[in-house]
């Protein structure tokens, strides 16, 4: 048995070496490229296999604090008939593209508030979906202030849109579909689209106001996306009996340690900024307390403050976590089959 295993490993290594060597030749590179692009082009239906599911894709799990290779706040919600994105942080569009999500049917973007880490890639998202053939202008929903954001982006990228229309022709790229449209929302039901309902609730992220979170309901399943907020009465109300709560999470032991280290090193500015951040995100302890108080299927931490850059930092986030808590990462999927209580969490 050991002999067989040794032969097997040896032949695999030889085969790998041979393949690697063959890529030195242009003809082999061309064949590999053709296969690679063919696979890429057919990669447009990931996450849509089960028509009865509400699917959640983590297109950005990070916050602006700390180094990371993860994208900033972004959650995509998909059903066979719906595709909405909630916040559009830096790096998130590449994750959406990488997962092969169906840009052509992107219906709208919901913003929780207008901190840069939640809006940085609005235009990239708009551009990617416009170029692929989205049939309507992209609508951006958000609290008061969303018009200013949208009109600023439309103005800033007017030249870019013009270049692309001139280059590819207005028949292919209709300039009207490149302009974002704004809808100002308040707490309450903000969208009813067939079986899918989106409800906004008031978040607490002082001094940023207004800030909201969203609850999505679809065929007996539900998801809450917090945006940035501490835990409030509104959180308790909206997240009670929800299947999946995605909440921003701050690990106090990490921010306290970082502040102390910065102060000791005489880095007063970073020390002040990190300590300022502590009071407007939900601490992991407050979320554990919330989880004990309310009836929730699963709580996933995203928008991690600070971003865990190594295993030690992740372990601190995981301190005392009950079984139904997880840390979200870019590329994670949560599948919620209709009319059941099942939540299937997969990481890439
Ligand atoms: Zn914020
Ligand atoms: Zn944020």
Residues 232 and 340 in one domain: yes
Reported as a single tens digit per residue, the pLDDT across 201-250 is 999 999 999 999 999 999 999 999 999 999 999 999 999 999 999 999 99
In a domain, residue 120? The reply is yes
Mean pLDDT of 94-123: 97
Tell me the pLDDT band of 2, cut-offs 50, 70 and 90: low
CA dihedral 98, 73, 321, 250 (to 10 degrees): 150
Residues 12 and 139 in one domain: no
Q: How far is the CA of 206 from the centre of ligand 1 (A)?
A: 9
Pinpoint the alpha helices (H) of 23-145. Answer: 26-41, 92-98, 116-119, 122-132
Query: In the prediction, which pLDDT does 8 show?
Result: 60
Ligand nearest to the CA of 208: 1
Domain that holds residue 34: 4-38
In a domain, residue 308? The reply is yes
Helices 122-132 & 158-168 angle (0-180, nearest 10): 20
Residues 58 and 84 in one domain: yes
Q: How far is the CA of 115 from the centre of ligand 1 (A)?
A: 5
Reported as a single tens digit per residue, the pLDDT across 159-201 is 999 999 999 999 999 999 999 999 999 999 999 999 999 999 9
Residue 338's CATH number: 3.60.15.10
Closest by CA to 151, choosing from 123, 107, 182, 177, is 182
Q: Which two tokens stand for residue 248?
A: 């921003």
Residues 14 and 87 in one domain: no
Q: How far is the CA of 225 from the centre of ligand 1 (A)?
A: 13
Q: How far is the CA of 36 from the centre of ligand 1 (A)?
A: 39
Residues 111 and 34 in one domain: no
Residues 245 and 275 in one domain: yes
Residues 29 and 79 in one domain: no
In a domain, residue 205? The reply is yes
Angle made by CA atoms 112, 277, 295, in degrees to the nearest 5 = 55
Q: Which two tokens stand for residue 282?
A: 């939900």
In a domain, residue 159? The reply is yes
Q: How far apart are CA 327 and CA 303, in angstroms?
A: 10
Residues 77 and 213 in one domain: yes
In a domain, residue 43? The reply is no
Pinpoint the alpha helices (H) of the chain. Answer: 2-22, 26-41, 92-98, 116-119, 122-132, 146-156, 158-168, 233-239, 252-264, 268-277, 284-293, 311-317
Residues 112 and 28 in one domain: no
Q: How far is the CA of 174 from the centre of ligand 1 (A)?
A: 34
The total number of residues written for the chain in this structure: 348
In 3-state terms, what secondary structure has residue 205?
strand
For 208, phi and psi rounded to 5 degrees? -85, 120
Q: How far is the CA of 105 from the centre of ligand 1 (A)?
A: 28
What count of other Cβ atoms lies within 10 Å of the Cβ of residue 112?
Answer: 29
Q: How far is the CA of 80 from the centre of ligand 2 (A)?
A: 29
Residues 252 and 275 in one domain: yes
Q: How far apart are CA 310 and CA 70, in angstroms?
A: 12
Q: How far is the CA of 64 from the centre of ligand 2 (A)?
A: 7
In a domain, residue 155? The reply is yes
- Residue for token pair 């207008």: 114
Q: How far apart are CA 273 and CA 41, in angstroms?
A: 44
For 82, phi and psi rounded to 5 degrees? -135, 145
Q: How far is the CA of 222 from the centre of ligand 2 (A)?
A: 23
Q: How far is the CA of 89 from the centre of ligand 2 (A)?
A: 8
- Residue for token pair 């865990």: 308
Query: In the prediction, which pLDDT does 254 show?
Result: 86
Report the domain count for the chain. Answer: 2
Ligand nearest to the CA of 203: 1
What count of other Cβ atoms lies within 10 Å of the Cβ of residue 37?
Answer: 10
Query: In the prediction, which pLDDT does 47 show?
Result: 45
Q: How far is the CA of 113 from the centre of ligand 1 (A)?
A: 7
Residues 182 and 282 in one domain: yes
Tell me the pLDDT band of 50, cut-offs 50, 70 and 90: low
Q: How far apart are CA 53 and CA 47, in angstroms?
A: 9
For 11, phi and psi rounded to 5 degrees? -70, -35
Q: How far is the CA of 303 from the centre of ligand 2 (A)?
A: 7
Q: How far is the CA of 228 from the centre of ligand 2 (A)?
A: 6
Ligand nearest to the CA of 72: 2
Q: How far is the CA of 315 from the centre of ligand 1 (A)?
A: 24
Residues 110 and 229 in one domain: yes
pLDDT above 90 covers what percent of the chain?
A: 72
For 117, phi and psi rounded to 5 degrees? -75, 0
Q: How far is the CA of 117 from the centre of ligand 2 (A)?
A: 5
């Amino acid at each position: 048995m050991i002999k067989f295993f040794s032969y097997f490993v040896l032949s695999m290594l030889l085969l790998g070496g041979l393949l690697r060597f063959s890529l030195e030749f242009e003809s082999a590179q061309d064949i590999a490229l053709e296969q690679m692009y063919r696979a890429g082009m057919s990669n447009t239906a990931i996450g849509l296999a089960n028509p009865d599911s509400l699917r959640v894709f983590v297109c950005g799990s990070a916050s602006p604090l700390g180094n990371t290779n993860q994208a900033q706040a972004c959650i995509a919600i998909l059903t066979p008939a719906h595709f909405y994105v909630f916040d559009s942080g830096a790096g998130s569009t590449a994750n959406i593209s990488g997962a092969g999500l169906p840009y052509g049917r992107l219906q709208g973007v919901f913003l929780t508030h207008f901190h840069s880490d939640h809006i940085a890639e609005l235009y990239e998202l708009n551009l990617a979906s416009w170029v692929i053939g989205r049939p309507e202008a992209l609508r951006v929903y958000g609290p008061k202030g969303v018009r200013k954001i949208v009109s600023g982006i439309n103005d800033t990228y007017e030249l870019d849109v013009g270049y692309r229309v001139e280059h590819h022709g207005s028949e292919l790229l209709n300039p009207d579909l490149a302009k974002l449209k704004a809808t100002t929302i308040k707490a309450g039901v903000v969208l009813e689209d067939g079986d899918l309902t989106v409800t906004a609730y008031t978040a607490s992220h002082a001094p940023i106001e207004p800030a909201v979170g969203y609850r999505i309901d679809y065929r007996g399943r539900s998801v809450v996306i917090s945006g940035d907020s501490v835990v409030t009465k509104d959180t308790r109300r909206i997240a009670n009996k929800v299947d999946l709560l995605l909440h921003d999470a701050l690990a106090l032991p990490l921010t306290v340690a970082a502040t102390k280290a910065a102060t000791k090193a005489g880095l007063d500015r970073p020390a002040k900024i990190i300590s300022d951040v502590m009071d407007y995100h939900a601490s992991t302890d407050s979320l554990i307390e919330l989880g004990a108080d309310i009836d929730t299927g699963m709580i996933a931490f995203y928008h991690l403050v600070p971003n865990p850059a190594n295993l030690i930092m992740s372990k601190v986030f995981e301190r005392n976590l009950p079984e139904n808590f997880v840390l979200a990462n870019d590329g994670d999927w949560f599948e919620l089959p209709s009319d059941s209580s099942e939540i299937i969490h997969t990481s890439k």
